[in-house]
Structures are given as C-alpha cells and as structure tokens.
C-alpha cells in the first residue's frame, strides 16, 4: 500500500509538472516529458478508437509537435499577437493499469483549462486526459497523451496551443 501511495504521488507530480510546462508555454520542457516516439492525440469523436482512419483535432508525433512549437515562437505568428495564456487544473488522477515495477502505466485524469487572449473572450475547455507512460532510464515518459474534450465533436474556434 505504501508503495502504491508513493507511485500515485509521483504520477500526480508528473501530471502537475506537465500542466505547469504548458501553462508557462515551456514547449521544450513539455516535449522532454515524451518518449521519443510518443504521440499527442485529441480525438474528434467521443470514444474514438482509431486515429488513422478518422480525423482528429490533433494527432501529432514529435515532428508535427516540433512544427507547432516552433510556430508558436515565431515573430510573425499573427494569431499569437497577443499570446494565449492558459491555466490548467488536473484532478481525479487514477492509475488504471500497471504497477510500480511494470514497464508501462495507464493514468486517467480530469482537467479544466481556461484560455485567454487579450481582445478575446475567455474560453473554458474541459475533458479527460489518458496518459500511457513508459519507463525509460528509471523515469516515466509519455508514450501517448490522449485528450478527450467533452465537446470534441462541437464547432470549435481555433486551438492555438497544446491542450
């Protein structure tokens, strides 16, 4: 039980650290949390099973994330004049598969995210994160971050930053 609590604590700290990187627009710090072949996926449909044969709001490997990260920091990224600020709260963190000495873990959580750009309305996003984590060099790294927005199939204004 003590080991489980320790794992739970370490995993929560990892998710909080990830949210903090994104809130601070520390895209490089965020990327470093991923395994080299890690994927970032925001499905378009509820319970979407397949990212390859169905469109997604985001489905990005490290190459596509690299383009997005670099774009956000371009001088002439017009849609970031002014920039998007965001604050995320992550809770209800549950380890749903795997243990401390397993090679992989699956973690589910719930998030609230508030975004703001000067001149625009606040936008509230909410949904569920699923993190598939893999142990690399004694650290948990993200093999897949899945973001299921509660309004995934709604009509969206543009998503400027990673969710």
Partner 1 sequence: MSPPGDYARLVEPARVHKSVYADPAVFDAEMERIFGRAWIYVGHESQTPSPGNYWTTLIGREPVIMVRGQDGAVRVLHNRCPHKGARIISEACGTLGSVIRCPYHGWMFGLDGKVRNVPFRAGYEGTGFNPDDPEFSLRPVARAGAYRGFVFCSLAADGPDLAAYLGGVASSLDNFVDRAPDGEVEVAGGVMRVMQRSNWKIFLENLMDTGHPQATHESSFVAARQTVKSRLGGATPFRLHIIEGNGEPASFWESLELHCFEHGHSFMGAIFNAPKDELSLDYLATLARQVGSERAQAIISVNRHNTVIYPSCSPHTGFQQLRVIRPIAVDRTMVEIFTFRLKGTSEAFFQRTINYTNIVNSPSSTVMVDDVEVYRRCQEGVDRQGGDWVSQHRQAGRESATGDEILAIGTSEAPIRNQYRAWASYMKDAH
Binding residues for partner 1 (CB under 8 A): 42, 44-45, 48, 52-59, 62-64, 66-68, 70-71, 74, 76-80, 153-160
- Here the tokens at position 139 are 């650290």
- Here the tokens at position 130 are 């699923």
Minimal distance, residue 120 CB to partner 1, in Å: 9
For β-strands 139-149 and 34-43, DSSP reports them as parallel
3-state SS, residue 103: coil
Minimal distance, residue 70 CB to partner 1, in Å: 4
Q: Closest CB to partner 1 among 8 and 56? A: 56
Minimal distance, residue 5 CB to partner 1, in Å: 37
Q: Closest CB to partner 1 among 63 and 96? A: 63
Residue 51 exposed, middle or buried by CB count within 10 Å (0-12, 13-18, 19+): middle
């Amino acid at each position: 039980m003590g080991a489980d609590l320790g794992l739970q604590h370490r995993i929560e700290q990892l998710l909080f650290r990830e949210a903090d990187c994104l809130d601070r627009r520390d895209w490089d710090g965020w990327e470093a949390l991923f395994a080299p072949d890690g994927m970032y996926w925001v499905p378009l449909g509820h319970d979407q099973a397949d990212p390859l044969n169905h469109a997604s709001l985001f489905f990005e490997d490290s190459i596509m994330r690299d383009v997005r990260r670099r774009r956000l920091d371009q001088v002439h990224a017009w849609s970031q004049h002014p920039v998007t600020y965001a604050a995320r709260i992550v809770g209800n963190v549950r380890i749903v598969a795997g243990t401390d000495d397993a090679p992989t873990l699956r973690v589910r959580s719930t998030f609230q995210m508030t975004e703001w750009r000067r001149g625009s309305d606040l936008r509230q996003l909410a949904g569920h994160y699923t993190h598939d984590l893999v142990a690399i060099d004694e650290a948990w790294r993200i093999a897949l971050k899945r973001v299921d927005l509660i309004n995934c199939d709604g009509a969206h204004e543009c998503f400027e930053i990673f969710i």
